[in-house]
Amino acid sequence: MTHSSFSIHEMQKSDNFAVGYNELSDRIPFLNPTTIAPAGGINSNLEDLLKWLKLLLRSGEGLIEYSTFNEFIKPQVVSDLICNGKFGIENEILMESYGLGWILLTYRGHFVALHGGKINGFSSNTLFFPRENMGFVILCNKGSTPFPFILSAILMDKLLGLPPIDWTEKYKMLAELDADENSYENPQDTIASHSITEYLGTYSNLGYGNIEIYEKQNKLFAIYNHLHLPLDHFNYDVFEVAKNSPAPALKGLKFNFLMNNSGDIKSLSIPIEPELQGILFMKQNDALLTDPAYLNQFTGSYSYMGFTIRVEEADKGLVVKVFGQPPYQLYPDRTNQFRVKDLEGYLVEFLLDESKNIYAVQMTQPNNTSYTAKKI
């Protein structure tokens, strides 16, 4: 198998390699599958894969013991990846199980082992009939397409000499039913409650990592695990992955931006797991806001009604000290503004004069009562 490799970079050194397209026929960049391999981790062509298929039809002869190969295509667990009532093929496929890396079916009375593959811009299907000693491989340079499986069904009927089924028409009917079930009314005439820049930033979840939201040509994009996902506005502060996304499986995924009690965008909820409510990603402060050089400009003494208020640096933030009171820890909220730790709704804002120098600090309580202390 001299044309197969495990590296996207090595594959592109060839003078003849396929490029991938999405369902809108837009060319999309290669996805480096290093972090998810072996899924999507092999690059190959029909010449090499047919050699592999012939080895499968010989039950691995010359490479592994027959008993070992037989274990691969022996039912290990019950599965419903295909025979699950969603595809309208209950009359053609009566039983399904999973072996060691193979989906095992009885297709119209014939035992078949198969496995499909799909990655951004590419899809495939490989199957073989051990008893009939035949099989085939289908490769397609388009992602999220039913083509490999429709063609597989057509070829199976033809090669097995079975009465033909109009699989193309059957798929169209299923696609229409699926579209009806998953259709929704896109709200009209709603606008986002914030300017586009207020959604920008890095949002973090301890289990799922970081999502970066950035703007390009007045449109929001999300970066997650090297995927660049264009976002379309859906309703108020909800955006969704656009139809022309390089990851078609994620199209329509909702990004719900959430506000704190002050009306600022502070978190992002995404229903990544279908069986769970939205996974919450917290917006991270700009690194500049915790830079000692930035924080140092706010330190010093301030005077209010004869009382002296001290502002000092502490733990990537500031601490406010007032005589007779416990110290109040401040954490950055936005430029020149801080929140008070453990005191919801309190805002501390440092005021600048025309020369961009700090001349006062304004403290606002939840009831909107404000006090201003001048710098001394």
Find residue 243's DSSP bridge partners. none
Specify the 3-state DSSP secondary structure of 360: strand
Distance from C-alpha of 163 to C-alpha of 142, rounded to nearest angstrom:
29
Crossing angle between the packed helical segments 167-181 and 147-159, to the nearest 10 degrees? 150
Task: Find all residues with CB under 8 Å of 331, minimum gap 6, and list them.
Answer: 285, 316, 317, 338, 339, 341
CA separation, residue 343 to residues 217, 260, 262, 310, 336 (Å) = 39, 13, 13, 19, 18
Q: Sign of dihedral through CA atoms 52, 58, 64, 69?
A: positive
pLDDT bucket at 329, cuts 50 / 70 / 90: very high
| Lookup: tokens for 8 | 């996207």
Task: Determine what percent of the chain falls in helix, strand and coil, rounding each to the nearest 5.
Answer: 20, 40, 45
Q: Which of 3-12, 173-182, 183-192 has the lowest mean pLDDT?
A: 173-182
Report which secondary-structure segment, H or E, holds 155. helix 147-159
Distance from C-alpha of 359 to C-alpha of 351, rounded to nearest angstrom:
6
Q: Return the pLDDT at 173.
A: 79
What is the maximum span of the chain, computed from C-alpha positions, in angstroms? 98
Same topology, domains 196-283 and 288-375? Answer is yes
CA separation, residue 39 to residues 55, 176, 246, 375 (Å) = 21, 30, 18, 61
Are 140 and 123 in contact, with CB atoms under 8 Å apart? yes
Q: pLDDT digits over 330-352, tens only?
A: 988 888 999 899 888 899 999 99
The CATH topology of domain 8-181 is: Beta-lactamase (3.40.710)
User: Across the beta sheet with 93-98, what order do the strands follow?
Assistant: 77-78, 93-98, 103-107, 110-119, 122-129, 134-140
* Angle, vertex CA 171, rays to CA 167 and CA 174, nearest 5: 140
* Angle, vertex CA 39, rays to CA 132 and CA 281, nearest 5: 145
Specify the 3-state DSSP secondary structure of 370: strand
Are 98 and 111 in contact, with CB atoms under 8 Å apart? no
Specify the 3-state DSSP secondary structure of 244: coil
Q: Return the pLDDT at 290.
A: 86
Are 110 and 132 in contact, with CB atoms under 8 Å apart? yes
The whole-chain average pLDDT of the chain stands at: 89
| Lookup: tokens for 157 | 């009927």
Asked if pLDDT for residue 174 goes beyond 80, the answer is no
CATH number of 196-283: 2.40.128.50
Q: Is 218 exposed, middle or buried (0-12, 13-18, 19+ CB in 10 A)?
A: exposed
pLDDT bucket at 88, cuts 50 / 70 / 90: confident
Q: Which of 33-37, 80-84, 129-133, 279-283 has the lowest mean pLDDT?
A: 33-37
Count the neighbouring beta carbons within 10 Å of the beta carbon of residue 140. 20
Q: Return the pLDDT at 129.
A: 97
pLDDT bucket at 119, cuts 50 / 70 / 90: confident
pLDDT bucket at 315, cuts 50 / 70 / 90: confident
Question: May I ask the CATH architecture of the domain 288-375?
Answer: Beta Barrel (2.40)
| Lookup: tokens for 194 | 């914030």
Are 331 and 339 in contact, with CB atoms under 8 Å apart? yes
Average pLDDT over residues 123-133: 95
Q: Is 270 exposed, middle or buried (0-12, 13-18, 19+ CB in 10 A)?
A: buried
Domain boundaries in the chain? 8-181, 196-283, 288-375
